[in-house]
Amino acid sequence: MCDTLCAVGSERTLFAKNSDRPVAEVQLVESFASRRGGGRLRTQYIEIDDAGAFALLGCRPEWLWGLETGVNEHRVAIGNEKVFTVDDPYKVEPALLGMDLVRLGLERGRTANEALDVMTDLLARHGQGGVGDRTHDEPYFSSFLVADPGRAWVLETSGRTWAARPVDRTAAISNRLTLGADWTRASDDVPAGTDFDTYRLARAPTGHADARLAASRACLAAGSDALTPRILAAQMRHHGERPWAPPGGDPTPVSAPPAASMPDGTGVTVCMHVRGYQATASSLIAELPSDTGRSVRAWVAPGSPCVSVYVPVFPPDGVPRELGDAGVWKRFLTLRERVEADVDTAAALPEIRAAFGPVEAELWDAADEAAGDPDAQAAFTAACWRPVASALDRLRA
């Protein structure tokens, strides 16, 4: 599943993604150092020429080489979505996964335009294919949101076929094609004027994506310059009723996750809890300022954001090592399972937010004070996990 959005403002771009994955699949948040080019590079299923890599922060399912989302040293952010199209992903040989393309775009792109060129060139050269969901043995194609401080692109694909349009201030993508005839760039096999929605698999239901797109677009309607990272954090905790629990804000009333999901999309929410199938495995929010004198900021919630803390990080390398620890991720899994099992009293989620809310607020304020000072940022990164770990201990996770 997944939901990704961005808002291109006058002085910065905000970007956010909830990565929805199989319910027990570990997702790690890691820093990746820059790399010189040369030789061959092993992606998930194939080898390609290694063009080198910029330093980046990325969120990665433990078994994958590629990334669900990330931010690189040049202030480019990318996230992908599973989409259902007329081309059958079961009939193509393993090639590049959508997650490989996210990582390669971040490794090689200094701007959103450049990352888009990298990704579409790789699609043409190597194609797209292979299992991206090991739990359900499911291959799929992807759409992408590619952003930098001044611009963004929506890129949608079906195998090697693709189309893209520039973002006009705000955009949201989910698990369906969203482009019509409004694209401005496309692969050679897409005739001029084509409605790209004709590549959508007609029999695939869209209700589950439409409901989440509506929630994301309602948030973005405030306008790109009115939005803040705190507003987006509340949005990424959306359980179908409203945004809630902004960092430093009132956590009440608590918005519990839906108990069940329906074929029309009811119960499939931005903060996802589809029992036995998928749940949000991590959430990333990034602020990409156009002023290079300002630090790039990001906030990462391991596990489901409703039962987690958006930990401030300073990409690409100001990331607590605990975020890359599978054992830490499983502690947040314990909390999500506790909430999903508590359908009678609904007491678990308020208890969790009462423990995490003050910690999150203090971390955000402390990161604001450290921003722009490399020594202060390093000190913050070294110390920021301690209060989170203490809260996890108190919650017996």
Between strands 12-22 and 278-289, the pairing is antiparallel
Please, are residues 61 and 334 in contact by the beta-carbon 8 Å criterion? no
Instruction: Give yes or no: 2 in active site.
Output: yes
**Euclidean distance between the first and final Cα of the chain, in Å?**
26
Identify the domain containing residue 34 by its residue range: 3-394
What is residue 282's predicted lDDT score, i.e. its pLDDT? 99
Q: Residue 339: what residue type?
A: V
The dihedral over CA atoms of 379, 384, 385, 386, expressed in degrees to the nearest 10, equals: 90
Say if pTM beats, i.e. exceeds, 0.95: yes
What is residue 279's predicted lDDT score, i.e. its pLDDT? 98
What is residue 343's predicted lDDT score, i.e. its pLDDT? 78
What's the CATH code of the domain at 264?
3.60.60.10
SS (H, E, C) the chain: CCEEEEEECCCEEEEEEEEEEECCCCEEEEEECCECCCCEEECCCCEEECCCECCEEEEEECCCCCCCEEEECCCCEEEEEEECECCCHHHCCCCECHHHHHHHHHHHCCCHHHHHHHHHHHHHHHCECCEEECCCCEECEEEEEEECCCCEEEEEEECCEEEEEECCCEEEEECECCCCCCCCEECCCCCCCCCHHHHECCCCCCHHHHHHHHHHHHHHCCCCCCCCHHHHHHHHCCCCCCCCCCCCCCCCCCCCCCCCCCCCCCCCCCCCEECCCEEEEEEEEEEEECCCCCCCEEEEEECCHHHCCCEEEECCCECCHHHHCHHHHHHHHHHHHHHHHCCCCCCHHHHHHHHHHHHHHHHHHHHHHHCCCHHHHHHHHHHCHHHHHHHHHHCCC
What is residue 260's predicted lDDT score, i.e. its pLDDT? 86
Give the whole-angstrom CA distance, residue 261 versus residue 47: 40
Catalytic residue among 2, 6, 271, 384: 2
Q: How many domains does the chain have?
A: 1
What is residue 51's predicted lDDT score, i.e. its pLDDT? 98
Give the whole-angstrom CA distance, residue 14 versus residue 2: 17
| Max CA separation in the chain (angstroms) | 59
Angle CA 269–367–297, to nearest 5: 60
Walk along the chain (397 residues) in steps of 10 and give the mean pLDDT of each run. Answer: 96 98 98 97 98 98 99 99 98 98 99 99 98 97 99 98 98 98 98 97 94 97 96 98 96 90 87 96 99 96 99 97 98 98 88 98 98 96 98 98
